[in-house]
Amino acid sequence: MSEGRPPVPASPTLEDVARAAGVSRATVSRVINGIRNVDPAIQETVRHAIAETGYVPNRAARSLVTRRAGAVALVVSGTGEESVDGPFHSKVFADPFFGRVASGVVGFLRPRGVHPILMFAEDDEARAQVIAYLRQGNADGAVLVSTNALDPLPGLLTGMGLPAVLFARPSPPIPISYVDVAHRTGAKLAADHLVAVGRRRVATVTGPLAVPAAQDRLNGFRDAMAAHGHPYVPCAEGDFTQDSGEHAMERLLAEHPELDGVFAANDLMARGALLALRHHGRQVPGDVSVVGFDDSSAATASRPPLTTIRHPVEDMAAEMTRLLLEHVDDPGRPVTSVIFEPSLVVRESA
Amino acid sequence: MSEGRPPVPASPTLEDVARAAGVSRATVSRVINGIRNVDPAIQETVRHAIAETGYVPNRAARSLVTRRAGAVALVVSGTGEESVDGPFHSKVFADPFFGRVASGVVGFLRPRGVHPILMFAEDDEARAQVIAYLRQGNADGAVLVSTNALDPLPGLLTGMGLPAVLFARPSPPIPISYVDVAHRTGAKLAADHLVAVGRRRVATVTGPLAVPAAQDRLNGFRDAMAAHGHPYVPCAEGDFTQDSGEHAMERLLAEHPELDGVFAANDLMARGALLALRHHGRQVPGDVSVVGFDDSSAATASRPPLTTIRHPVEDMAAEMTRLLLEHVDDPGRPVTSVIFEPSLVVRESA
DNA sequence: ATGAAAGCGCTAACAT
DNA sequence: ATGTTAGCGCTTTCAT
């Protein structure tokens, strides 16, 4: 932003409150920051003066001395290869998942008087801007949700000493805290359910296999099916979009027309699979059972509603934020991971 | 956030750079802020010193003296009645529309080194927190997208003298800048198209009629149909969600089984209408033509893909942000509105 | 328990 | 064209 005049009329300062209360700035400051050793009577006087003057602390002044921004960044990071259709940001939020993360983050932050700074890091340039911005000390830490496992950003952030917590385990092991869901357990839940409803010729639509989560879901599913006596599970790779799910399902159907069950690594792809199945005249769940993953809004909005694996995204995001604030308050704290257990939500598709 | 030790090692200050370059702080400051009247040779020296020391300006210190936060808020505001299923924030971002707005805002802000602070104001408490936060001077202004026409927030913001720009015209006329789309023109486009493809028994699924946009789309549609010789257009009210669209379509079908065309006031509801139509065995577009509004990702993801009215949400959001920065730079500037023209996107549903 | 005073890092007069 | 200097509003020793 370019320069201009001050937009707001001068607001009351500590000095004003101190004068009104007949005490010193220091005392007012103590009251505001909840430091004890202040006479209760004086505290009362000060509080009254604060209310009377309509005083609100100036964050810049406070930050300058405390060396804390009092803000955190919410960084959505991508690969840089996604500029196929439309701007990255638009696409990102087309996936309801990110909205749930944002929700969880804000939900945790807000009661604490903190609000997240929203940043996108979809390519090298954007990443550089993010780094530059954070280097200015605009945020005390960052919660990071990345669409790409090889994202260099987590490494860069920890490298510059900025507290950061990831949503989902990074692919190259780096010393950074993260929250994640037990993908393998979730996939097992899906496998168990498909088998329980009598499916025997089951295939899976995977996410991009460079992503650990996609790997885990695939492997977990395969292992579970193997445990049920089905060592071979046909699979087709998608990229977590609905279209990719539809195409993957087409391929699966072409090669294995006899299949009677599908596990898609997320709901969007499951929805695409539903489309392909209908297109080929297969009834769901009559002919083919479909299980998704995420329990996103896509799951309830699709017809039939999706049986899926739910993970508590909002809770996870809140926990991620909690971890971040912990790291901010105590930079020496060792990195940790918190893994959430998913659950099966049975609807109509399987 | 509670207090703790400084998270980062002391970074170089203006003083350090000045010393390294053998000049005064003021000169370095001038170079950084692009103020002319600095000897080119010295500029070079200073730049070198900056690079050498790895200096980055401290935003808090700068804000303290300029009295500018250098940040803007992106506020998503709701009615408070939406807590039906899941947290407000989750629901908000389930609508791809908000993602597009965020995208446009960030797209405009980022090249200018500004990032938005994300805030939700879904009920009185949240609204109070938003106000309190903004009163602290954490943002120089706010771009506001509201799901409710009677939202008190715009009034509150302008009341406290904070520059703000809305996405969509507020229902009670208040002196505030906004961007919007020509809803009536869009609705007319839909009507013209439905008539052009031979539809004569046309109905409409409206948005919540308390919202001006929903009103305008309805009225624009009715007027245009009247101009085509169809004075009566059955309508059913929805609330912009897919489910509401489905239910509205059910009602329409029950009362007017002969209908052959539908205009839904947004894509999500159009999608719901598609579901209801299929459920009743109507072919789209064979038996019934369907036109949506928004050209959101829901339009391309639905089957058949939706013919819809496109408005340039990202561009509008960018313009909204531009207007905000203008108001921030010059608080005296009179409020303005910018209305964008929508266009018809023909796909398969009509 | 309270006050006085020293800055935090920066910008913007003002002086030269 | 450059330097000097006075704060911006706050927290935090250090005295008292």
Same domain as B111, residue B25: no
Is the pLDDT at B254 greater than 90, yes or no? yes
**Nucleic acid strand C: bases within 7 A of protein CB:** 1-13
pLDDT given for residue A7 in this prediction: 40
Nearest amino-acid residue to D8, taking CA and C1': B65
Q: What CATH number does residue A77 fall under?
A: 3.40.50.2300
**Nucleic acid strand D: bases within 7 A of protein CB:** 1-5, 7-13
Q: CB distance B126–A110 less than 8 Å?
A: yes
With cut-offs at 50, 70 and 90, classify the pLDDT of residue A201: very high
Is the pLDDT at B83 greater than 60, yes or no? no
Among B344, B347, B339, which Cα is nearest to B191's?
B344
What are the chain A neighbours of B91 within 8 Å (beta carbons)? 297
Q: Which is more confidently placed, B6 or B32?
A: B32
Same domain as A204, residue A60: no
Q: How far is CA A228 from CA A193, A218, A342, B142, B303, in A?
A: 11, 15, 20, 56, 36
Q: What is the DSSP string of A217-286?
A: HHHHHHHHHHHTT-----EEE--SSHHHHHHHHHHHHHH-TT--EEEESSHHHHHHHHHHHHHTT--TTT
In a domain, B152, yes or no: yes
Same domain as B84, residue B162: yes
Q: Check if residue A301 sits with its Cβ under 7 angstroms from strand D.
A: no
Q: How far is CA B223 from CA B179, B195, B240, B307, in A?
A: 23, 13, 22, 20
Same domain as A335, residue A271: no
Which alpha helices (DSSP H) does A83-122 contain, by range?
Answer: 88-94, 96-109
What are the chain B neighbours of A99 within 8 Å (beta carbons)? 89-90, 92-94, 98-99
Pairing, β A164-167 against β B308-310: unpaired
Same domain as A213, residue A118: no
Q: Check if residue A8 sits with its Cβ under 7 angstroms from strand D.
A: no
Q: What is the DSSP string of A202-221?
A: EEEEE--TTSHHHHHHHHHH
d(CA A257, CA A278): 13
Same domain as B51, residue B137: no
Same domain as A306, residue A187: yes
Rounded to a whole number of angstroms, the distance from the CA of B99 to the nearest CA of chain A is 5
Percentage above 90 pLDDT, chain A: 60
What pTM was computed for the model? 0.87
Q: CB distance A99–B93 less than 8 Å?
A: yes
Query: Is residue A166 helix, strand or coil?
Result: strand
Q: For A235-294, what is each residue's pLDDT tens digit?
A: 999 998 899 999 999 999 999 999 999 999 999 999 999 999 999 999 999 999 999 999
With cut-offs at 50, 70 and 90, classify the pLDDT of residue B85: very low
User: Å between B69 CA and D10 C1'?
Assistant: 16
Boundary residue ending a domain (A45, A66, A87):
A66
Q: For B118-127, what is each residue's pLDDT tens digit?
A: 999 988 888 9
Among B120, B92, B116, B93, which Cα is nearest to B104's?
B116
The side-by-side arrangement of strands in the sheet containing B235-237 is B235-237, B202-206, B261-264, B289-291
Establish, for the pair of chains A and B, how many residue pairs have beta carbons separated by less than 8 Å.
225
CB A171 within 8 A of CB A146: no
User: Å between B62 CA and D2 C1'?
Assistant: 21
Q: How many domains does chain A have?
A: 3
Q: What is the CA radius of gyration of chain B?
A: 25
In a domain, A216, yes or no: yes
Q: What CATH number does residue A62 fall under?
A: 1.10.260.40
In a domain, A349, yes or no: no
In a domain, A102, yes or no: yes
Same domain as B173, residue B79: yes
In a domain, A226, yes or no: yes
CB nearest A64 (choices: B61, B114, B330): B61
In a domain, B6, yes or no: no
d(CA A198, CA A155): 46
Same domain as B110, residue B221: no
CB nearest B58 (choices: A137, A271, A275): A137
Same domain as B174, residue B212: no
Interface mutation target, options B1, B82, B131, chain A, most CBs of A under 10 Å:
B1
What are the chain A neighbours of B73 within 8 Å (beta carbons)? 115
What is the distance in angstroms between the CA of the first residue and the CA of the last residue of chain B? 54
The answer for residues whose C-beta is within 8 angstroms of residue B248's C-beta and 6 or more apart is B205, B206, B236, B237, B238, B269, B272, B273
Rounded to a whole number of angstroms, the distance from the CA of A218 to the nearest CA of chain B is 25
Task: Show the domain range for A119.
Answer: 71-180+313-339
CB A306 within 8 A of CB A279: no
Q: Check if residue B8 sits with its Cβ under 7 angstroms from strand C.
A: no
Mean pLDDT of B76-93: 55
Interface mutation target, options A90, A143, A246, chain B, most CBs of B under 10 Å:
A90
CB nearest B275 (choices: A11, A90, A303): A303
In a domain, B326, yes or no: yes
User: Å between A135 CA and D14 C1'?
Assistant: 33
Q: Average pLDDT of chain A?
A: 89
pLDDT given for residue A250 in this prediction: 97
Q: Check if residue A23 sits with its Cβ under 7 angstroms from strand C.
A: yes
Label residues B6-36 b or e (16+ Cβ within 10 Å = b): ebeeebbbbebbbbbbebeeebbbbbbeeee
Q: What is the CA radius of gyration of chain A?
A: 25
Same domain as A187, residue A300: yes
Mean pLDDT of A149-153: 84
Boundary residue ending a domain (B27, B50, B66):
B66
pLDDT given for residue A95 in this prediction: 64
Beta strands, E only, A28-155: 72-77, 116-121, 142-146
Q: For B140-180, what is each residue's pLDDT tens digit?
A: 999 999 877 778 999 999 988 899 999 999 888 899 999 99
In a domain, B345, yes or no: no
**Residue type for A91, please?**
K
Same domain as B319, residue B173: yes
Q: CB distance A110–B103 less than 8 Å?
A: no
